[in-house]
A and B are shown apart, each in its own frame.
Chain A
Amino acid sequence: MTAPRFPRDPRAPRPPAYTPGSAEPRLNRPVRERYPQLRPTSGYGDPRTRHTGPGPGAGTEQEPERSSKLSARLALALTVVAGQLWGLTVVVDEWMAGDTGTAWWGAGFLVLSFLVVLGLWALDPDDR
């Protein structure tokens, strides 16, 4: 055994002795005990696993059906609003031409269209 190259200062504090694991006993428990939810089947084959985490499909849409349904609702609502814009021009035109009855029918059409959009909006309040 050779002498250290640099002599240690005898007054310096000594480092603690190395022991594997953590100083906290609860972290030294086996993984099964630390994460009781984990099972040998946890992963892609486990139906309870909804989000796959890093791996194939990570970062992409997890529920493509939900996403496409929301896109379809948005597209339908935009189409209805385009129809409302046309309807408003008709209402103004008929009112200015003196046909008040037709103008009221057009106003009813606009209100019904709004109810359709409202329904599309309220179809799934938890959607994002």
Chain B
Amino acid sequence: MSVTDPQPPAPGSADAAQEALHDRIAADSLTTRRDYLRIVATVSGGLAVGGVAVASGVLHRHGDGEGPPEPRRIADRIAPGESLAFRYPGAEDRAIAVRMDDGTLAGYSAVCTHLACAVLWRRDRGGEGELYCPCHEGVFDARTGAVTAGPPPRALPKVLLQEREDGSVWAIGTARSGEDAREALCRQQGGDTALCRNASAPAEGSDRP
């Protein structure tokens, strides 16, 4: 049948003929570039929604909760070279406390900033031990929490530790990646403490009286 021949009348109505024509045209190309453009626009919208959701706070940050965190005793003592896994301030906030060989006490979030694997204390690695994420070989400096190797994009959030005279170790607050310990305490305690009023006071992530 040639296209110049009169077309047979549609069996049903004009809609059926229209559908048959649409089928014939649609069969030529399953996915057009315009379809790709629509898919790309959909992906773009999803990314925009995701960005707004992240800025709105859909992701949990270590230490985020209602009210300032309460100081909590986490151990009677931590010997040099040892580490302690604990949760502070919330039940889901995994943390790790490390006593280095020179006596420095440091506490960090135990959730890797790359893909949230568990961070481990490896005394045998590096010069003085390091915090190590085995999932993708991420390495953090045990003294500062900064990234020294691997794919993590940010330093580890800190857990501010305090060692009291009886040797017990207390967690007193948290600090975000790269945040100064005093700024973190002032942010969490409301800025009306003596530490915040005295700007010249020394600030340390770990405190040994």
Point out residues on A near B: beta carbons under 8 Å: 35, 70-71, 73-74, 77-78, 80-81, 84-85, 87-89, 91-93, 95-98, 100, 103-104, 106-107, 109-111, 113-114, 117-118, 120-121, 127-128
Contact = CB atoms under 8 A, between A and B. Distances in A.
Interface size class of B (residues with CB under 8 A): 20 to 34
Interface of B is mostly: helix
A81 B51 CA distance: 13
A106 to B, nearest CB: 6
Contacts of B36: 74
A77 B37 contact: yes
B44 A80 contact: yes
A50 to B, nearest CB: 16
Given A88-B50, A107-B54, A110-B52, 4 more contacts: A81-B43, A92-B54, A104-B55, A114-B47
Contacts of A128: 32-34
B177 A96 contact: yes
B34 A70 contact: yes
B71 interface: no
Interface of B: 4, 32-34, 36-38, 40-41, 43-45, 47-48, 50-52, 54-55, 57, 59, 61, 113, 153-154, 176-179
